[in-house]
Amino acid sequence: MVIAATFQHLLSKQEHPRDVPTRASAWNSRLADHGVRYVRVQWVDLTNTVRFQVIPATRFAQLCEKARPGIPMTARTLGFINISFAKGFGETGEHLYVFDLDSFRICTYAPGHAVVMGWFQLETPSPEGSLAVGICPRTLLHKTVSYRCWTKAGLTFLCGFESEFILLGATSPEPDPLTREGWCRAANLRTGSVQSIVIEEIADNLQEARIELQTYHVEGAAGQFEVVTGPLQPLEAADALVYTRETIHNTASKHGLRATFAPRVKMNSFGSGQHVHISVHSSDASDTDPYARADAVKAPTLTNTERSFVQALVNHLPALCALMLPTPCSYWRVQDGISSGGTYACWGAENKESPIRVCGEKGSHHIEVKIPDATANPYVMLAGLLAVGVQGVRSGAEMTAGNCMKSVVSMSDEERQQVGMENAKRLPRTVEDARRLFKEDGVLREALGDSFIAKYISVNESLEEFMTMPTEEEVVRHLVEHF
């Protein structure tokens, strides 16, 4: 349950110390009311590994008395892989990991614990007067949303996620899914079964934490389930997704199971994705006439803004794969003909064989990006998606790609020409190709910055090396252990 808002009046510099209790006593009182004994100061690194330090509630309350409540930390941890740091993360010295008190939640999956996210900041301002650390994923997303999207383009967004995962009874000698294949198969959720108990407890924990749960159900692969959470503003949505994953991991662990978000556990079955849904909201009141531009025929129910946003995603999708599919194993999942989005950059209305799916009706559309999996850092991924989409809107990108009613790979030359896909871009088939396209994409480079791109690529190269194993079976076991 988010309780930080309760304390906003205590953080105001307008009130005199004599007029209100100290922040420490206020936090101590509130934490005690919610049974919180420990606070997990948490962050997500560039390999999408969740990390945290645990501090006692009394210490957390004391730290909240400071002008910038936080703990010393080095941004090197964002590039930590196995037992070493990626190239470019060798600098010494400490930064400050400043608590974002708006992100504070009770850990409903861990009694007595709460969690808070934060921002990596410099101890003292840079010569330009900035405290920001450019490779901090949350800072990157916040800057993208507040400055690039709203200030420069007047756009806001809501984002929601579908989290697919597999419950395993054992991971050795090979992953052992808890149930048989079968999408929405009733037998996989019989009352009293361990998986039914675990999934329902996950659902209860999420709702108790005030995360909107829209549905949970059995997915197609053996042992696979899906949890769908509701729309939030981008930064809140990414925080909620991290909390959702932690809820799933910890609840499964409590019952002696392993939950894995690995993109592919068995090559003869479906993989697990992390589909993201995005709705675009413009402050431009004139952006409602569907026939205001010549490209209206391509998608007559979409607004001008939505058409430009979708086309920009199509244009940059190959480069975005470096953020959405960051491991070699990610490319095992994205194939043609298995409802994972296919291997061509295109869009389709309600077409599960297209990587970008336009859902809903006129006036209530949202855009589903089916490519990502849960090895992707959600903050970085959303920052990339929104940055290229907003640039498309600002430049008035005209829609040249038509509505693909079936997969591009199954189309004839004539059918491709009819929907403007005669020169359709193929998505990269390896993480190396994705990195190359990412590095070459001018819009992403301008939006994310040279320094971030260089360090992200360095981490990704180290991650690829770390995930490389002699056999496919060893790769899968390694993958399951880490995701």
**Range 4-83+91-133 classified under CATH 3.10.20.70:** yes
What is the pLDDT at residue 98?
A: 93
**Residue 346 exposed, middle or buried by CB count within 10 Å (0-12, 13-18, 19+):** buried
What is the Cα–Cα distance from 372 to 128, expressed in whole angstroms? 36
Neighbours of 309 (CB within 10 A): 27
Helices 450-467 and 304-324 pack at an angle, to 10 degrees, of 50
Instruction: Write down the domain spans for the chain.
Output: 4-83+91-133, 147-446
| Summary count for the chain: helices (H), strands (E) | 13, 18
Residue 105 predicted with pLDDT over 60: yes
Lowest mean pLDDT among 153-167, 171-185, 259-273, 309-323: 171-185
Residue 317 predicted with pLDDT over 50: yes
Residue 133 CA, distance from chain mean position = 20
Q: Find where tokens 């803004």 sit.
A: 305
The model's pTM? 0.91
What is the Cα–Cα distance from 74 to 95, expressed in whole angstroms? 5
Q: Do domains 4-83+91-133 and 147-446 have the same CATH topology?
A: no
As a dihedral over the C-alpha atoms of residue 367, residue 373, residue 375, residue 377, rounded to 10 degrees, the angle is 0
Is the separation of the CB atoms in 359 and 474 below 8 Å? no
**Residue 245 exposed, middle or buried by CB count within 10 Å (0-12, 13-18, 19+):** buried
Q: What is the pLDDT of residues 229-274, one digit of tens each?
A: 999 999 999 999 999 999 999 999 999 999 999 998 876 778 899 9
Q: What is the pLDDT of residues 324-349, one digit of tens each?
A: 999 998 998 888 877 777 889 999 99
Residue 423 predicted with pLDDT over 50: yes
Q: What is the mean pLDDT of residues 361-368?
A: 89
**Range 147-446 classified under CATH 3.30.590.10:** yes
